[in-house]
């Protein structure tokens, strides 16, 4: 896919950069694999706002993507590649030999009419899914399970992939894009290839209206609020806050490590790369 720019007829089109979706399916999604999706508007199951500045957005249906890939040893044909409003990468509709359909995440370089298959000891081919123990070292993979049978959890967004860097007994060493290396059970499933739509990161929204279509409301800076509303609030005139930057709840907003899962520390071989702050 290529990027699409616009002539500067307005101030918004001057800076707008979008992804050209040429070649994608233009019709409606597969009816039996979609269901209505209600917007949470940033609220949790108690109805309390836990993510601020979220509301509205375009109405959309949820596509039921199969992250488990448990239909083994049956050839599936890629019928079409679709845009999915619920995720950054594209999805593909596949049809199995028994005339059933499923939605899968679409990797790069896969085309309509290609054949894919799930199972053990299959061909190392883009779109095929198999256990980590059957995949050679250095191959790009996505939709990786953390626990066998738990469904793909790692590398599911646009343009992402991870690689197998080695083996350690019953575990495979997986190198993530962050630089972290961790052990995952070699029986866990993964899919060959790099996910589609790598130009997603180059999009420039261009105007406030497009953010509203995505369900993002206007954001008010903390320093212009009152002290009762934000830790940065208050002061006379244009004050800078007078303290380290924090969230509305008071949690540090600049690089504080919040991971608290000692149970899985033993699976992490190398921590992610440290962020280089621009000074």
Question: Domain residues for 93?
Answer: 3-40+56-200
Q: Are strands 34-36 and 91-96 parallel, antiparallel or unpaired?
A: unpaired
Is residue 194 one of the residues assigned to a domain?
Answer: yes
| pTM of the shown model | 0.89
Is residue 46 one of the residues assigned to a domain?
Answer: no
Contact by Cβ (8 Å): 98, 74: yes
Is residue 155 one of the residues assigned to a domain?
Answer: yes
Mean pLDDT by 10 residues, the chain (279 residues): 90 93 94 93 93 93 95 95 96 95 96 94 94 94 95 95 93 94 95 96 94 94 91 86 84 88 92 68
Nearest CA to 23 among 92, 115, 76?
A: 92
Nearest CA to 65 among 27, 108, 106?
A: 106
Q: How much is the pLDDT for 180? A: 93
Nearest CA to 193 among 162, 148, 165, 166?
A: 162
Is residue 92 one of the residues assigned to a domain?
Answer: yes
Is residue 265 one of the residues assigned to a domain?
Answer: no
Contact by Cβ (8 Å): 249, 240: no
Is residue 211 one of the residues assigned to a domain?
Answer: no
| Residue ranges of E strands in 147-241 | 152-154, 162-168, 171-175, 181-185, 189-192
Is residue 48 one of the residues assigned to a domain?
Answer: no
Question: What value does the CA radius of gyration of the chain take, rounded to a whole number of Å?
Answer: 22
Q: How much is the pLDDT for 276? A: 66
Total domains present in the chain:
1
Is residue 111 one of the residues assigned to a domain?
Answer: yes
DSSP H/E element including 212? helix 208-213
Q: Within 13 Å of residue 114, how many CA atoms lie on the same side as its CB?
A: 17
Looking at residue 142, which CATH number applies to its domain? 2.30.30.30
């Amino acid at each position: 896919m290529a990027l699409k720019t616009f002539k500067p007829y307005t101030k918004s089109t001057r800076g707008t950069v979008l992804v050209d979706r040429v070649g994608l399916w233009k019709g409606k999604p597969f009816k039996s694999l979609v269901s209505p999706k209600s917007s949470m508007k940033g609220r949790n199951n108690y109805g309390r706002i836990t993510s601020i500045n979220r509301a509205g957005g375009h109405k959309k249906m949820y596509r039921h993507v199969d992250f488990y890939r448990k239909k083994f040893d049956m050839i599936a044909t890629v019928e079409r590649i679709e845009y999915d409003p619920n995720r950054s990468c594209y999805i593909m509709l596949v049809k199995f030999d028994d005339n059933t359909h499923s939605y899968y995440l679409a990797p790069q370089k896969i085309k309509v009419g290609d054949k894919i298959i799930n199972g053990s000891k299959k061909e190392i081919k883009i779109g095929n899914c198999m256990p980590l123990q059957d995949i050679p070292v250095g191959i790009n993979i996505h939709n990786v399970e953390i626990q066998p049978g738990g469904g793909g959890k790692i590398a599911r967004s646009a343009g992402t992939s991870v690689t197998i860097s080695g083996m350690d007994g019953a575990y495979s060493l997986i190198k993530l894009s962050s630089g972290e290396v961790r052990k995952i059970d070699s029986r866990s499933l993964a899919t060959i290839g790099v996910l589609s739509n790598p130009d997603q990161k180059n999009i420039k929204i261009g105007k406030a209206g497009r953010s509203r279509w995505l369900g993002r409301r206007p954001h008010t800076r903390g320093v212009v609020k009152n002290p009762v509303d934000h830790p940065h609030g208050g002061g006379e005139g244009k004050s800078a806050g007078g303290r380290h930057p924090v969230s509305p709840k008071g949690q540090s907003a600049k690089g504080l490590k919040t991971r608290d899962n000692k149970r899985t520390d033993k699976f992490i071989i190398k921590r992610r790369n440290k962020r280089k702050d621009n000074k």
